[in-house]
Amino acid sequence: MSHTREMKAVRCPTDQLSLTNRAVVSDKDAFARIDYVQVQAIPGPSYVFATVAHPDLKSGEMGFSLPQRKWARISIDQPIQAAPYRFDPSCQYLSSITVEVDFLQKKNTTNDAFDSDKMAKDFLESFDRVAFSVEQQLVCSFYNKKLMGLVVKSVEILDPAILKGGKPSAKRNRDVRIGVLTQNTQVTFEKAEGSALNLTGRSKGQSGNQSIINPDWDFKKMGIGGLDKEFSDIFRRAFASRVFPQEFVEQIGAQHVKGILLFGPPGTGKTLMARTIGKMLNSREPQIINGPEILNKFVGESEANIRKLFAAAEDEQKKMGNNSGLHIIIFDEIDAICKQRGSMSGSTGVHDTVVNQLLSKIDGVEQLNNVLLIGMTNRKDLIDDALLRPGRLEVQMEIGLPDEAGRLQIIEIYLAKMKENGKLSKDVDPMELSTLTKNYSGAEIAGLVRAAQSMAMNSLITASSKVEVDYEKVEKMQVSREHFMHAMDTDIKPAFGVSSENFDKFILNGIIDWGEPVQRVLADGELVVKQTKASDRVPLASMLMGGRSGSGKTALAAKLALESGFPFIKICSAEDMVGFSESAKCQAIKKIFEDAYKSQVSCVVVDDIERLLDYVPIGPRFSNLVLQALLVLLKKAPPKGRKLLIIGTTSAHDVLEEMKMTDIFNTYVRVNSLSTSEHIVKVLEELKIFTPEERERIRTKTQGKSLLIGIKKLLVLLEMVRQTEPSYRVPKFLSLMEEEGGLELS
C-alpha cells in the first residue's frame, strides 16, 4: 500500500452510519478528503470501503459496523493498515450486482411480501458511489420495514468498450470482483437458502423464481420411452404456468393446475411416468402413496391420513407464500379411495368421507397453490365426478399402448445394456422387433426382453443329476433374434393383442374353397377390412354374416379377422359366458369393446349373436338387457384416432331383423350352404378321402338332386366315412347324406 498509515479499528459511532456500508473516519483526518480506502488487518487480505467523515471519531480511528468487521476479519481496537484506493477508470463502475438477502434476525420474520423492485430503488439511493466486493456482508433497512442482512454474490463491470461500439471483454468482467455502484447499476435480489422471506417483483433473482424444469433430465436416461407426446401435453397443461414468474401469472389471472389423472391399460407406464415427473421438476421429493394404504378401520383415521399428506405443503405455504416449493403427491390406484360417492351400498361411508377430505384439501376454502396431485388408475369410470372437474384433477391424460416409434424407444432402452457389453447378437434388429410387437405395452416389452435373456441363459445350463453352468460359454453368450422370436411365440403375448388360440380352433381344418359362394364372402369381407384400414371418415365398420347353422360363418369370420393383420383381434362368444347372469354378460361384452378401443385398429368378432341374447324360439324368450347393451356397443364409434371393425355372425337373421339389430350393421353377407354336386366333389378333392373313381360315382349319384348341407356338417360326415372300410365308403357317405337331410335320393 502506498501512503499507508496505521489506524485503530473502532465501532461505528451511530446506528445510522452502520447502514451506509462505509468506513467512518474523523472529519479532522486526511482520509476525510478521500473517497475510498483500502484496509488490511495484519496478517490477512485487504478490503476496499467507501468513506464517510464524522466528528465523534478521533484522528487515527476508523469505525466499522459489525457486518463489515465480520467480513474484513477486524476486531475492536485492533491496529489496521489503511491507504487511499483509486479505481482503474476503465473498470470502475458496476453494470449489475446480485445480492443475497434474508432477515437479519430470524425471530422477527414476517409473511409480508417485499417488492424487490422497490428494494432495488432503495438500495441504489442508500449506496450510491459505494464500493462493493464479491462476498461482502452488509445490513440495509428496506422501506422502513425490517433490517435485512445482505451478501454480495456476484458483480459485473460496465465495459467502456460497449460505449465506443466495440465488443465487451467477457474475460475482464469475470476477473473483476470489485466496483462502484451507480444509479444505472442493475440490482438483482436472491433469497437466501431456507429463508422465509416472501420476495416479489421483477428484480427477484433465480433463487426466488427457480426454473421448475430440471435441466439435466432425459427420458431415455430415466428408462422411459414412447411417451414424448404425453409428456409434452402434460407440460403444456400442468407446468407452463409454473415456469413464469408468480407476478406475471397473477397479472393475467391464471391459476396453476393442481391435479393430473393418468389412466390407461396396465403396464403402459403410468406409475413410471408419475415418478419421472417428480424427477424432472425442481421440487420436493414426491410422496408416493398406494390408494389402499390410506384406508384404516378406525373412524376418522383414513381422513387423518389424507390430511397428513398435505401438512408439509400447508406449513410451507404459510411461511413462504408464493415462494413455496412445489409439493408433488402421487396416488397410485386412486380409484381404491375415490369411488363415486353413494355407490358403495352397505358400506360404512368411509370412502365418501375420504373423497370429501381430499376434495377440500385440493380445492377447498383454504386452497393450496404449492401442491400437484398426480392420480393413476386403470378404471377412470370408477372415480367420483367431483374429483375430475377443473380445479382438481383437471388434466386427464390417457396413457395408451405405444405406437411403433414408441415401442422402438422402449426396446432400445432395454437393449442398451446388452449392446454396451457385447451381449446382443448382430442379427437382433430393434426396428424389426418394434414392428412385430404390435399392441405390446411397455411392461410386456420388458417381459419379452427378460424372456429372451432367460432362454439365452438357459442354453448354458446343463441339467443332469445336478444343475451346472458352462462358465466358458458364459463369456461368449449373446441374446439372438431366435431367442426373441421364441419368446414372442411361446412366453409373452400382449394382453390387448390377437387371441390366436381362440381363433385357431375355429379354423382348425382351414378354409375349403368349395365354390363361388365362399370366394364371394371372402371378397366382400376383404373389402370391409380395406375400408376399415383406409377410411378416415368412417372409423367404425361392421359386417353381419348370416346363414344356416353349420355353414362355416364363424370360420370365415375368423379367417377374415386373422388375415386383416389388425394388432387387436378378439372374439365375443357365448361359449365364454356360460352361466353368466345378464348383467355379468353385459359387463363381459362391454370389456371386450373397451379393450378394443385401446388399440389403434381393432377387430371384434361377435359370434352367434342369438346365443349371446339367450334367444329360444319357444316362447320366444331373449335377454333384453344384453340386446340393449349390444345395440349400443355395435353402433358406438371408437375414440378419436382409433378404428374398429365388427364382424357378427348369426343363424337367425329374421329374428335379429325383428329386433332391429340388422339395421346397425353396414353390410350383410349371406353365407350359403353347399347346394350342388360340384360343391360336394370340390370338398372331396380338397380332403382326398375318395379316389377319383369314387368321386365320379358320387358326382353321378348326386347330379341333379336336391342338395343343402352346411360345410361343418359335411366335414363331420366325411370324418365318419374315413373310418369305414374302403369298399363301403361311397354307399356309407350317400346314406349319411340322406339321413342328415342334405340329399334326397328317392
553 classed as catalytic: yes
Catalytic residue among 159, 608, 643, 649: 608
User: In this structure, what C-alpha cell is assigned to residue 587?
Assistant: 359387463
| Burial class for 720, CB neighbours closer than 10 Å (0-12, 13-18, 19+) | exposed
554 classed as catalytic: yes
Neighbours of 146 (CB within 10 A): 17
**Maximum C-alpha span of the chain:** 146
Residues 412, 414, 416: CA angle, nearest 5 degrees: 65
Q: How far is CA 404 from the centre of its chain?
A: 17
| Burial class for 468, CB neighbours closer than 10 Å (0-12, 13-18, 19+) | exposed
Of 395, 707, 81, the C-alpha closest to 699 is 707
608 classed as catalytic: yes
User: In this structure, what C-alpha cell is assigned to residue 71?
Assistant: 467480513
Beta-bridged to residue 137, according to DSSP, are 151
User: In this structure, what C-alpha cell is assigned to residue 320?
Assistant: 413462504
Name the DSSP class of 674: B
Of 130, 13, 188, 148, the C-alpha closest to 67 is 148
607 classed as catalytic: yes
User: In this structure, what C-alpha cell is assigned to residue 194?
Assistant: 431456507
| Burial class for 396, CB neighbours closer than 10 Å (0-12, 13-18, 19+) | middle
* SS3 at position 593: helix
Residue 570 backbone dihedrals phi, psi, to 5 degrees: -140, 150
Name the DSSP class of 189: E
Q: Say if residues 281 and 323 touch (Cβ distance below 8 Å).
A: no
| Ramachandran class of 154: left when φ > 0, alpha when ψ lies in -120 to 50, beta otherwise | beta
676 classed as catalytic: no
Question: Which residues have CB under 8 Å from 33's CB, separation 6+?
Answer: none
Give the Cα separation of 656 and 659 in Å (integer).
Answer: 5
Give the Cα separation of 66 and 139 in Å (integer).
Answer: 9
Q: Which amino acid is at 510?
A: G
Catalytic residue among 51, 98, 554, 662: 554
Catalytic residue among 204, 339, 553, 598: 553
CB burial of 89-119 (b: ≥16 within 10 Å; e: otherwise) equals eebbbbbbbbbbbbbeeeeeeeeeebbbeeb
Q: Which amino acid is at 14?
A: T
Of 457, 459, 425, 443, the C-alpha closest to 492 is 443
> End-to-end alpha-carbon separation of the chain, Å?
136
Sign of CA dihedral 235, 236, 239, 242: positive
Q: Say if residues 28 and 59 touch (Cβ distance below 8 Å).
A: yes
Catalytic residue among 279, 423, 635, 682: 635
Catalytic residue among 121, 319, 493, 712: 712
Catalytic residue among 607, 643, 650, 662: 607
417 classed as catalytic: no
Catalytic residue list: 553-554, 607-608, 635, 712
